[in-house]
Structure 1
Amino acid sequence: MTISPHRADLARLIDPACIALVGASDRPHSIGGRTLTNLIDHSTIRGELYLVNPTKTELRGRRCWPSIAALPQTPDVAIIAVPAAGVLAVAEECAARGVPFLVILTSGFGEAGAEGERAQQRLKEIADAAGMRIYGPNCPGLCNINARLGMTFSPSFPHDLVPGPIGLATQGGGLGRNVMQAMERGVGIGLWASTGNEVDLQVADFIHYMATAPDIKVIVTLLEGIKDGPRLLAALQCAADNGKPVIALKVGKSEYGQRAAQSHTASLTGSAEVNSAVFRQYGVIEVDDIDELVDTAWLFARAMPPAQEAIGIYCSSGGTAALTADAVGTSGLKLAQFAPHTRELLLSRLPDYAAIDNPVDTTAAILSDADLIEQTLGAVTTDPNLGCVLAPIALEYGATTVSLAHTIRAAQQQSPTPIIPIWMSDRLGEGYKLLVEGGFAPPRSVGKALKAVQRWTEWGRWQRAGGLGEARATTPARSPSPAGGTVRNLSELEAKQLLAQSGIALLPAAVAATREEARRIADGMGYPVVAKIASPDVVHKSDIGGVKVGIADGAQVELAWDDIMASVRHHKPQAAIDGLLIEKMAPRGGFELMVGVTRDPVFGHVMTFGLGGIYVELLRDVTRRLLPLRPADARAMVREMRCYPLLQGARGKPPADVAALERLLLAVSDFVMAHSTSLEEMDLNPVWVGSEGEGALPLDAVIVMLEDA
């Protein structure tokens, strides 16, 4: 198991032996009253529950204490349900008493404007000085369903008490409770942490806890914003190291969603592309809506994906079987070829007109024979050539469907291979209820079921390929322009000299201050050459006629000087001009790619790699990774591009020097890490890649550095 310095020891918070409820109330609809009801009537508390209210001596037949200081023992957790104006005083009292954890249900802090933000900052100062941890504020509480403990004011708590192997970590309460209510579909959620404003404890801390919690098998998270990228990465690393899938729904992928998420949580939403790239890199299974999240989590909770990926389909409707087979094919998955003994059993048991090859179409004629269904479904389920069985149910058919549900439950008990019943009808009958009671959580369409299977399969491949691998170094995210620092664009020559000092191969280049010097430099290099404007004020040179390529002799160099200078002075009359950069031209042929690096405000440096030159904006064939790269990352980045078949050699062209390209990506990663405190942005575009053995060379370089004032 891996342990991160960001991980709190949350066991006393999640399963406390002693709890104090500050603000306990006899008003049934108040926060203090609802929390008291959940604790007394619907929870099992291992030890003492102390009620604190200075205006009461007794509540619900229990003694009421005037303060935390007056309690006979120090609680593990103090739940604070007093108005916002009184929270700081209670926090100071808890800090003085040595209470290790506060659960602050009260709203009116960072989400409520400048005054609330100041109060929230003071709350953090109190906690930090005492070594006390804070959960919240502005949160619905913490629900440990596996221990039947609800430190929450939600009136839904007593209705959502199905234990299970899924752990849920969210920031918002509404969407979190929505997932909790998926228990109605047969999904058991053992722990729900909804962290609210995250003044201290964050979603990342609960992911980290669940990564090693023995009662949690699958981790689900809904994220509106990410306050601490390295903290989240440490948690995801721990989950990957312990073989636990993390399924994430990240809100804020569009500009509209980002604005809404920021107004709700005051957290950074980050770039959707970068968030998704980091999730992929760390094996996080990203989904797009709640249904996908629930379907996928349920499948992982049922079974981890086996090495055998092929799918079996068992159905009593020919059209439904064909629809499901189509969905398998369009999902990039494959149908299993049944073993001979499976085909023999199906042939001997099913009618002559039934389809016994995958997909199996039993026809409706056998639906009245439960024993026959169990025998044939059991044969498919135990076939060694498949990893799961889809059992689409197209319609609710009364007693027949009830019998089928019983049969699916019985067949599942005889096989570890998961059966995935798909309930396609809008009519939910007794058969659906039986499947839910059996823990199946049937997806409600073939498409949704196949999305879950696809993600399940892909994560299994990732895991078998080594997963995340060794722990990677991370650097703290940093804002683009800290106070007291200045941002400077290096000249192209400066950028290339810096790259060359790091061992990155480049073509010969030099800056000429005069027309005559330009010609001498070009003569010395040998033709053809490229001429580019050398100016700190011109980044996109070709846009203003600042580049000439294919210059074949000295006379053309002089003409290029005149043309470039005239064009730049016309378009950028105020630009400072150092002269022309004369550079040896890359060999003919090859491919133009690009390598870019930016500093993400949440996660730090991220590399973007893909098709370059004039095509990068047009086709957007790119892939991304958080730095630093491992060799496996560089290899994967090259192969993820849609244009990768072109690099392999197409229509008689020789294969590109992919090995050199991978070395370049690793060298750029090393360069960025060596300059991680100062490098803000980097753009190598185009990068020329020749045929095998010819190498990979950046032809243009833009580097933006932070410099102390």
Structure 2
Amino acid sequence: MQQANLNALFDPKSIAIIGASPDDQKIGGRPLSYLQKYGYEGVIYPINPKYEEMNGLKCFPDIQAVKAEIDLAIIALPKSVVLDTFKKCVDQKVRSVIIFSAGFAEIDEEGKQLQDEISRLAKQNHVSVLGPNCLGMFNVSKGVYGTFSTIIEDEKPLLSNIGFVSQSGAFGSHVFTLARQHHIGFSYFVATGNECDVDVADCIQFLAQDPGTDVIACYIEGTKDGDKLIEALKLARKNGKPVIALKVGRTNVGMKAALSHTGSLVGADEVFDTVFKQYGVYRAETIEEFLDVTYAASKLPFQKGNKVAVFTVSGGVGIMLADQLSANGLTLPETPEPVKQKLREILPIAGVQNPIDTTAQISYMPTLLEDFMDSVLSSGEFDSTVIFLGFAGLKLDSLADRITTLKAMKERYKDIPQIVVTINSKESRKMFSDAGLCVIDDPSRAVTVSKALHFFANRAEPDHEETYLPVKEDVFGSSTLLTEYGSKRILKQYAIPITEEKLARTAEEAIQFATEIGYPIVLKGMSPQILHKTDKGLVVLNLIDREAVRIEFKKLQKIIEETDGAEFEGVLVQEMLRKDSVEMVVGSKKDPIFGQIVMVGMGGIYIELLKDVSMRKAPVSTTEAEKMIQELQASAILQSYRGKPPYDVEELSHLISQFSHFIVAHEEKLLEVDLNPVMVFEKGHGIKVADGLMTLEKQVIHS
């Protein structure tokens, strides 16, 4: 039902314009004008009680006077009559509605209540609603222009394979205008406004299934439903459609601004970053990068490896490209010796290393560029290429020959993306576009594009290996905070390896447990009210006999009993871990939008000092967990070096996966979990969780 109504919204066979006007300068007049001017082939029903005829069409006094099925109704009326008008659309079984009108949740509480009622009615009656407070949408291939924007009043939009969705109409208009200046078109343009029903995730999902869309670009301020957004991103990746996102709200100031603008939940930016990486979304930092990467992804194949061949008319630019490509994780392999020899035969003065300097002779030898490119790319040693042509884009008299060469190379080496760099005029951009070539004005921007294409080539779906844990009924009890003892006792039930330990209520019990575990031992004072045990002197290491245990037990008990509001739970008697190990931390936090997020980093104090952390939306497989570890700057510490054996990354990966499934299994109850430190021993000797804390939700409401 939802997909059918999204089809009715984005590809309607009939459109009613409520508040239509014959004046194409009015909000109700523009969509009518655009639909007629740009070739919409469906049925249009202008609705305005002041007219019997409008622009050669019969005009209706009311939506209820239309005795035909209506796929889409556009409401271009004052806020005060929108709700009643929408109710009439519902009664008429209209399948989708666009509401231009502003003054709803973005303004005040009264507006929010009106919007909430529209949302309720939309969901109850299965009507797809775009808006309110939105610029609308257009579908270029079908001539559907449900918008009042002036960005298309002078010129019909260009058609391409790029679908663009924006939570801001003004931002969308700005990007659209820049794109047109660069001769870039779209399949769809959607501005979602207040998102009372159809949101950015719905649009991504629709575009992921649209045969005319190969690339999805989106401007995002926030989302109310993290799981829905993830499902849409998964679908886009499954269908091989790259998603480029410009997500604002990195800073607290930006987050507040985004919240006031859209009413969406903005969420922690690092979690959005994590979700984007995990589900193959390229995150752009600037409008320029957003447009460049979107455009390149629509024109070029994704490079399978990171080996780049650079052709340049400038040795200096070649060096700069080499530096910047290398800094972005790409390599410039040396030109193979037989190829070098061939290049020297063609042009003795050429620079035949990589970057390959064709010199200014390229202007005087018509076949030089093709001969050089063909010789190098036919070697099979390169995955992509950047071709710097200086200001060739301004020399229209010779540009046609360059384009003919580049087009031939594109056809001959279909799997190798070719990024052309030259200064352009409006005419040269069109020439490159008509030839299906990707052209960028600046070498550094070409490097960013190359990095993005490599990112897309490696955004394969993760494996589906899963770790299944036994379901436990209620392992938490009524507490909202669990001590180390309580936390680890729960983890043990889920086969997560913890230190050997027992909780003693008396000194005699502590001595008995120490004897059973074996000296040396560790004592830790347990109180739910004292989280940081070390700060209060509640951890004693390396105790080697009965008397030391007795003395230290009493000291720990006294510290807790003398701390205001602290409850003495007991003293944890724990094995002393003496084997060589690396301390890591594995933890989780419940994000209000995306749910349980699992993380790994260096243990002890280093996680706070270095901020070296890798995160994922839980759950993750063991393979994905290993990727998380490899992303850490400190991951080299776990590897073999200077004769030392490597540490047990395999078991640490297994723990992260197990733990991620545990936190998802108890999504509602767990607020935050911190396993710190996790002791990682030498390879083959496993791991042990030496300390841990769980913070629980105060109240769990079961539906």
TM-score by length of 2: 0.92
| Contact 1:409-1:435 within 8 A present in 2 as well | no
* 2:278 corresponds to 1:281: yes
Whole-angstrom distance in 1 between the partners of 2:610 and 2:252: 22
* 2:52 corresponds to 1:61: no
Residue 29 of structure 2 is aligned with which of 33, 43, 56?
A: 33
Percent identical across equivalent pairs? 33
- Give per-residue Cα distances to partners, 1:172-198, cap 9 Å, x unaligned: 112222222213213222111111111
Whole-angstrom distance in 2 between the partners of 1:165 and 1:379: 32
- Give per-residue Cα distances to partners, 1:67-91, cap 9 Å, x unaligned: 1110131211001111111111111
Structure 2 counterpart of 1:460: 457
Please list every run of 5 or more consecutive structure 1 residues that lacks an aligned counterpart in the other structure. Answer: 475-484
- Give per-residue Cα distances to partners, 1:266-323, cap 9 Å, x unaligned: 1111111111111111111112111111111222211221435421211111111111
Whole-angstrom distance in 1 between the partners of 2:301 and 2:673: 41
* 2:144 corresponds to 1:153: no
Structure 2 counterpart of 1:688: 679
Whole-angstrom distance in 2 between the partners of 1:658 and 1:665: 10
* 2:657 corresponds to 1:660: no
* 2:511 corresponds to 1:519: yes
Structure 2 counterpart of 1:313: 310
* 2:98 corresponds to 1:107: no
- 1:625 deviation in Å? 1.0
* 2:543 corresponds to 1:547: no
Whole-angstrom distance in 1 between the partners of 2:564 and 2:634: 40
Query: What are the equivalent positions in structure 2 for 1:210-359 lying under 5 Å apart?
Result: 210-338=207-335, 342-343=339-340, 345-350=342-347, 352-359=348-355
The secondary structure found in structure 1 opposite 2:230 is: helix
- Alpha-carbon RMSD: 2.6
Whole-angstrom distance in 2 between the partners of 1:254 and 1:146: 39
- 1:252 deviation in Å? 0.9
| Contact 2:132-2:196 within 8 A present in 1 as well | yes
Whole-angstrom distance in 2 between the partners of 1:588 and 1:379: 58
Structure 2 counterpart of 1:376: 372
Whole-angstrom distance in 2 between the partners of 1:381 and 1:178: 38
Output the amino acid matched with 1:299. A
* 2:554 corresponds to 1:558: no
Whole-angstrom distance in 2 between the partners of 1:561 and 1:590: 27
* 2:641 corresponds to 1:650: yes
Q: Mean Cα displacement is larger for which, 582-591 or 255-264?
A: 582-591
* 2:163 corresponds to 1:167: yes
Residue 362 of structure 1 is aligned with which of 358, 361, 365?
A: 358
Residue 10 of structure 2 is aligned with which of 14, 17, 29?
A: 14
Cα distance change of structure 1 residues 122 and 414 upon mapping to structure 2, 3 Å threshold = same
* 2:438 corresponds to 1:422: no
Output the amino acid matched with 2:526. A
The secondary structure found in structure 2 opposite 1:597 is: strand
Whole-angstrom distance in 2 between the partners of 1:30 and 1:486: 62
- 1:429 deviation in Å? 7.4
The secondary structure found in structure 2 opposite 1:40 is: helix
Please list every run of 5 or more consecutive structure 2 residues that lacks an aligned counterpart in the other structure. Answer: 469-476
* 2:692 corresponds to 1:701: yes
The secondary structure found in structure 2 opposite 1:24 is: coil
Residue 48 of structure 1 is aligned with which of 40, 43, 52?
A: 43
- 1:543 deviation in Å? 2.0
Structure 1 counterpart of 2:570: 579
Whole-angstrom distance in 2 between the partners of 1:533 and 1:7: 58
Structure 2 counterpart of 1:445: 442
- 1:487 deviation in Å? 6.8
| Contact 2:100-2:131 within 8 A present in 1 as well | yes
Structure 2 counterpart of 1:602: 593
The secondary structure found in structure 1 opposite 2:150 is: coil
The secondary structure found in structure 1 opposite 2:633 is: coil
Residue 90 of structure 2 is aligned with which of 89, 92, 95?
A: 95
Whole-angstrom distance in 2 between the partners of 1:473 and 1:200: 36
- 1:388 deviation in Å? 2.3
- 1:338 deviation in Å? 4.5
Whole-angstrom distance in 2 between the partners of 1:334 and 1:114: 56
